[in-house]
């Protein structure tokens, strides 16, 4: 399939012409649609949106929910060559308003309603894809990039992951998140597969029932859900073939139950600026894989260094009150903010450059400390941050998910010290029932760094 200038309507029509029109494309709690039915719905909705003023470059904010109708809205707007900002359903009013203002949105689409807004500046006339993300600090950011390149990137991910028309993909992250819409919806539709969109977070029991009913072959999720469902017996339900995880470090314990059930698990690295970057079978090597076809990647050699990436046809910008701030250099390279080592085994991430903890001139990587702590008995997950001590000096703090019974901070520090340099052993270890996370499952480290004692 050629993705150079295709809209989603073009993609749907090509599947129909190839004889796949009767195959399921999308399934939500209420209904399912085939590729031919989805093409008709998107065509009809595009006519309606055109009459409401949506055209090439019109800046539209689209709230994506667990309803197929919101996917139809998104597909119709992008097929009219609009510039579309996808928003998560659970985003607060203040954050949503700020994102729409930064994007310069002229119209908003929410549950079928079209609302006219006052844009910050006139439309550029170019189709675009944009996402709003609070990141791990809670501060929202709006990233916009070219639509054709975005669609090509999702298609490259689908090919590398081996998605085909026989796959049914269960996506657990909210569709308004870039990972869910790009590595999920866009990748699925490019491959002619089927996407299953559940309503809200699923308990393992509900997930098992869904798996038995719809027989998904692929789970697209995050480490927290893989671990939770794995311990809840979901790998033994349905017809799973493989899983893909992204958004955070993939601990070995999150993979174990799936591997025990004979199900392959893949680790995936991507970001809001460029989309999908790497993919690899999860095997304990610490690598997030080789770059996807078309993706350029640089990092440290031997020693950790800044990770930068590029993809043809993508020049991402950050929008602030309608003004674009370029994120790529003249050659298209975007610094991701991560540190890593790139070698024959692929990219090994070593932490965030802005999260390194400076202890008396020694740079401590939270990821290294977390890897050790997760391997200690009784710890199900953890997050390590730098926080000031009584005299203002930086200290290593660890927040760990563990049972209260038998929790022994001194014993944990002693065991960690057997594997880490003294300067890297957490000064403070705090037990928590649950780490604070974003809607996509990432740990909100900003809250841990700034929270009270």
Backbone angles phi, psi at 55, to 5 degrees: -155, -170
The confidence score (pLDDT) of residue 121 equals 59
Q: What is the pLDDT of residues 411-436, one digit of tens each?
A: 999 999 999 988 899 999 999 999 99
Q: What is the pLDDT of residues 41-57, one digit of tens each?
A: 999 999 999 999 999 99
Hey, where are the domains in the chain? 8-350, 356-450
Q: What is the pLDDT of residues 229-268, one digit of tens each?
A: 999 999 999 999 999 999 877 888 889 999 999 999 999 9
DSSP conformational letter for 443: B
Q: Extract the tokens encoding 66.
A: 């667990």
Q: Where are the alpha helices (DSSP H) in 282-433?
A: 366-374, 409-417
CB 241 within 8 A of CB 217: yes
- CATH number of 356-450: 3.40.630.10, 3.40.50.720, 3.30.300.30, 3.30.1330.10? 3.30.300.30
Q: What is the pLDDT of residues 87-140, one digit of tens each?
A: 988 777 888 888 998 999 999 999 989 999 976 555 566 789 999 876 444 447
Bridge partners, 176 (sequence order) = none
What is 8-350's CATH superfamily?
ANL, N-terminal domain (3.40.50.12780)
Q: Does pTM top 0.85 for this prediction?
A: no
Picking from 302, 294, 283, the residue whose alpha carbon sits closest to that of residue 342 is: 302
CA distance 428 to 409: 8
Backbone angles phi, psi at 53, to 5 degrees: 105, 10
Report the percent of the chain where pLDDT is more than 70.
94
CA distance 248 to 349: 11
- The answer for residues whose C-beta is within 8 angstroms of residue 206's C-beta and 6 or more apart is none
Q: What is the pLDDT of residues 207-229, one digit of tens each?
A: 999 999 999 999 999 988 999 99
The confidence score (pLDDT) of residue 137 equals 45
CA distance 436 to 136: 10
Please state which of the ranges 37-41, 135-139, 179-183, 391-395 shows the lowest mean pLDDT.
Answer: 135-139
């Amino acid at each position: 399939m050629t993705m150079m200038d295709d809209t989603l309507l073009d993609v749907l029509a090509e599947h129909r012409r190839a004889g796949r029109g009767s195959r399921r494309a999308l399934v939500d709690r209420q209904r399912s649609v085939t590729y031919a039915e989805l093409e008709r719905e998107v065509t009809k909705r595009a006519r309606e949106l055109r009459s409401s003023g949506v055209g090439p470059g019109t800046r539209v904010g689209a709230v994506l929910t667990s309803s197929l109708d919101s996917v139809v809205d998104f597909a119709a707007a992008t097929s009219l060559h609009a510039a579309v900002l996808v928003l998560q359903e659970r985003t607060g009013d203040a954050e949503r308003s700020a994102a729409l203002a930064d994007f310069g949105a002229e119209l908003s689409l929410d549950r079928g309603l079209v609302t006219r807004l006052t844009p910050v500046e006139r439309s550029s006339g170019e189709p675009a894809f944009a996402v709003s993300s609070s990141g791990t600090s809670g501060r929202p950011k709006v990233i916009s990039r070219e639509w054709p390149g975005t669609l090509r990137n999702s298609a490259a991910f689908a090919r590398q992951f081996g998605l085909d028309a026989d796959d049914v993909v269960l996506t657990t992250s909210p569709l308004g998140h870039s990972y869910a819409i790009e590595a999920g919806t866009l990748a699925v539709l490019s491959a002619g597969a089927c996407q299953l969109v559940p309503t809200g977070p699923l308990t393992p029991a509900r997930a098992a029932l869904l798996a038995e009913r719809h027989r998904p072959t692929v789970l697209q999720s995050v480490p927290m859900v893989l671990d939770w469902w794995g311990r809840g017996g979901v790998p033994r339900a349905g017809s799973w073939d493989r899983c893909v995880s992204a958004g955070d470090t993939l601990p070995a314990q999150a993979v174990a139950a799936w591997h025990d059930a004979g199900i392959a698990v893949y680790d995936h690295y991507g970001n809001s600026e460029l989309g999908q970057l790497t993919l690899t079978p999860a095997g304990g090597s610490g690598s997030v894989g080789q770059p996807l076809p078309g993706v350029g990647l640089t990092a440290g050699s031997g020693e950790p260094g800044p990770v930068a990436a590029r993809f043809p046809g993508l020049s991402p910008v950050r929008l602030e009150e309608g003004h674009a701030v370029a994120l790529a250099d003249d050659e298209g390279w975007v610094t991701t903010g991560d540190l890593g080592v790139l070698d024959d085994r692929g990219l090994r991430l070593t932490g965030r450059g802005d999260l390194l903890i400076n202890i008396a001139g020694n740079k401590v990587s939270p990821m290294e400390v977390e890897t050790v702590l997760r391997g200690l008995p009784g710890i199900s997950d953890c997050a390590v941050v730098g926080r000031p001590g009584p005299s203002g000096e930086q200290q290593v703090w660890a927040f760990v998910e563990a049972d209260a019974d038998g929790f022994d901070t001194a014993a944990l520090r002693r065991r960690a010290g057997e594997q880490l340099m003294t300067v890297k052993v957490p000064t403070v270890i705090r037990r928590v029932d649950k780490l604070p996370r974003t809607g996509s499952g990432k740990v909100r480290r900003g809250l841990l760094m700034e929270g009270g004692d």
